[in-house]
Structure 1
């Protein structure tokens, strides 16, 4: 079928007709004159920027809005040298511009720049309000955080901050028209802008290179507080760490492990209960001489309390794996831990049953070969009524384990302990010996004393849990029991403007590295394993660390293996000669 040429021409005119000013009359009838005028005005007010112009604005905004901590460190470190401050500040500003230049391509530019604003806004909040340092270990902690813990950190002030300083500025990036160069122009403008900003960054640093290099090397907190650079660097280092750790081959450890004569001679299964504490700091532990009696129940029991104990790190993601690894703090790394078996594997090789029950953020890959499980909320619904379980749920788990154990066992109970910032959720309603206590996760709403009161209440509840576990073990006759309590790290409660934990070890205060460590070894266990109580009591006044846990457990459980190091076993010199069975 064919069509007349005139019909085709007419249809083409209809399809390609673009309304001119005079042809807008029908649109006025449909939408109204004021609607069209509003659109014209909005278009007239829409600014036009080059990619470099947008980057200048965004870089300036981020340096002003999200770098209060950075400027504070810079002013302190270069006090009395305004030119040094200016040059270093401009260099870091150019570094921000350089970062933005790397993503200044059509379609990618504004979404990625918006993402950097949101990232810097989030990091700045925790940096300014809690004194947090954003490094790869902090990123590791974030990745291991549970949904429940995340909700406690996302408060109303945080959301307000994110909306005003993050969401709105990020949305405004999509308002102006950006005049990107055509492909031919991009081929030289894009790399030229990147190279120029990179050279200017180092050019301003070279003005006083000697002083700047010295400051950067000796004061990691300076660039560690720069946003978004510190967070971007932390993410990259975390990704590299996980990539390396994920590709390592696990080396066997202690495959020669075997039960010694004392363990073989026991008539009942030996049960060593290891409470892996959370965020308990030694300074607020009543047994260590704290002005408040936060450990009233433990003080009435016969325990060996080591008052000078230090942690391997300042976060669960570091300290907990380090505690169970054969490496001391100076030789520990995430990659080495992932590439080697640990204490639980050695116990399994020896025929001792390792059991991990968790009421926290998981086993941190410690029990990935031997198995781990979360607390069973159905065993104690009252302890888990608030959505998260208090550590009372672990007592129910312990009771169930005692009733079912038929072989020598090391039972690890990973506590929620004093995990912040919502300390008030760590103890049940009605359990608050220290009042008024902070009843929110947002510290800005609480006084310093209320924060300390809530934290001390959580320590007092940990005291109740450990003491109750000891009494439970002491009253049963199915197993030969012993108990350890060792916290993973401490906590800052506002000292020097720091809150929570996970400070880098090079700058971590003692409140984050000094931890409580105690043992309960009943008389029958001492006799079975030939422990001299008087000797061990004297040992409690000497320094110990989490490096000792691996070898002390092997020593007390009478496990013989070539990986055992008696010099790191706290009890080694306090055990008499063991006679063969």
Structure 2
């Protein structure tokens, strides 16, 4: 087969192969980068047009430089094959969902489960992997590649590298005033550049993981924790059910003013609804450990989340019974040292099929567990909530009130109406589930003072500005991914015995300063756990209790 003057079975130099692959990366695999660049620097006028041309040469020279470093015999073809397959996958996710790839996204990939990963597979994804990954890789393996003798080849690589560095410097120097701001704020562009985005992120995540593994022992906190005299004075034992929501955005709760009635059941309950709460992350891997951590969002890191105890450990140390029940991927390390139960794959349950379980499965036999409690207790329910992209699989058929709905994981192929409808059905089911939790607690009021706290781990993008799902870098994440609902319910006995003023709490419902940062200290405060790690200023109930 002839291609111009070149035949498939004709030898090709390693330098030319590197150039062709680099050119393909610039033109084919980086459409998301060009779109991101256009949002930063509109393509209008001669000057901006010249900048775009310089950026193309910049990327080409940069990619040639990187690939030249691995253009050795026995190394080049395997590296290029793996690179093209990985870059095809990265291009698919960035083009289909508008996401960027950073360390948090890589963490999400490593910490996901097979069910979540399977939900992302589609014909379009397989097409990307086949046409942009497998086929080019097979072509590379068929090509006969010529390699220069070692020292001549090494000299050639040095000359090519020097030319690439010079090109990069010239391109940046000619348009420095344009390059400087877009690279200074790296979240805006560099997290789109394929393949350096995922190569850097994987390297950074690996380094962080190795550092975490070197920690000899878990860092304990709150070693002085104990329950205070107020807890001993309470007439009944206390029971709090804390529901960790999944992917619920605050602006789709009718309780918060959304035009659709997505909270008909909670509206019937005597609840507290906090309208200005923000998450400490945009993905489950970050938000779940962060919301239970002693560290505020600005000081939290993956390392700290995995090497320090959280509020559940402190509560347990103080004598509170703590139990975690999971219908999601897992607890991201927060429940490793407490009693826990994964019900996401239960068999013989009316709420489960061969793919996943509806959140009501978490209420099965929960009354039996409560009946066996002798101490004050916290139960955490980690819900499946509104997890995408297969929103249609997160609620029962009876909850499909908004139609038509999106029934594919290819969200960009659905209309806005279909996508919003299916997402709102998940919120409707969350509303029903939370009402069922409250009814369960009401049935236990005679024996215990009870309360429910619900807060979502993060929000979700539904196609706004071409962005879907979540996990955007926090610094540039849209409000839809960071503004989350928080709903609470307290039994009359809890308000009285815990000394919490209902009127005071109702006045705090619009507080815009509330966030996941308040959860650690508020849970300690509810159970009257005294410790040096407790900060009353971050306990959202503290100012609504009488001064002791």
TM-score (norm 2): 0.94
Q: 1:173 to 1:462 in 2, by over 3 A?
A: same
Q: Report the alpha carbon displacement of residue 328 of structure 1 after superposing the two structures with TM.
A: 1.1
Structure 1 residue 479 and structure 2 residue 436: aligned? Answer: no
Aligned positions of 1:513-524 closer than 5 A? 513-524=482-493
* Match in the other structure for 2:356: 388
Aligned positions of 1:330-349 closer than 5 A? 330-349=298-317
* Match in the other structure for 2:503: 534
Structure 1: gaps of 5 or more residues = 1-37
Q: Report the alpha carbon displacement of residue 479 of structure 1 after superposing the two structures with TM.
A: 3.2
CA distance in 1 between partners of 2:418 and 2:400 (Å):
12
Task: Give deviations 1:398-423, integer Å, cap 9, x for gaps.
Answer: 33322322222111111110000000
Moved over 6 A (4+): none
Q: Which has the larger radius of gyration?
A: 1
* Match in the other structure for 2:515: 545
* Match in the other structure for 2:35: 72
Return 353-362 or 336-345, whichever deviates more: 336-345
Q: Report the alpha carbon displacement of residue 193 of structure 1 after superposing the two structures with TM.
A: 3.6
Q: 1:379 to 1:262 in 2, by over 3 A?
A: farther
Aligned positions of 1:153-168 closer than 5 A? 153-168=120-135
Task: Give deviations 1:136-163, integer Å, cap 9, x for gaps.
Answer: 1011111111111111111111112221
Task: Give deviations 1:426-467, integer Å, cap 9, x for gaps.
Answer: 102332111111122222442211111111111111111110
Indicate which of 48, 56, 66 corresponds to 1:99: 66
Q: Report the alpha carbon displacement of residue 185 of structure 1 after superposing the two structures with TM.
A: 3.2
Task: Give deviations 1:519-569, integer Å, cap 9, x for gaps.
Answer: 111111111111111111111121211111111111111111111111111
8 Å Cα contact 1:75-1:85 kept in structure 2:
no
8 Å Cα contact 1:380-1:396 kept in structure 2:
no
CA distance in 1 between partners of 2:451 and 2:509 (Å):
17
CA distance in 2 between partners of 1:378 and 1:210 (Å):
58
* Match in the other structure for 1:418: 386
CA distance in 2 between partners of 1:407 and 1:76 (Å):
57
* Match in the other structure for 1:132: 99
RMSD: 1.9
CA distance in 1 between partners of 2:35 and 2:501 (Å):
55
8 Å Cα contact 1:254-1:561 kept in structure 2:
yes
Task: Give deviations 1:271-316, integer Å, cap 9, x for gaps.
Answer: 1110000000000012111101111100000111101111111111
* Match in the other structure for 1:119: 86
Q: Give the length in aligned residue pairs.
A: 537
Indicate which of 409, 420, 437 corresponds to 2:405: 437
8 Å Cα contact 2:411-2:468 kept in structure 1:
no
Structure 2: gaps of 5 or more residues = none
Structure 1 residue 87 and structure 2 residue 54: aligned? Answer: yes
* Match in the other structure for 1:566: 536
1:519 partner SS: strand
CA distance in 2 between partners of 1:397 and 1:192 (Å):
71
Indicate which of 363, 371, 377 corresponds to 1:403: 371
CA distance in 2 between partners of 1:69 and 1:99 (Å):
20
8 Å Cα contact 1:417-1:426 kept in structure 2:
yes
* Match in the other structure for 1:205: 172
Task: Give deviations 1:27-80, integer Å, cap 9, x for gaps.
Answer: xxxxxxxxxxx9xxxx97512111110011111111111111212233454443
8 Å Cα contact 1:216-1:222 kept in structure 2:
yes
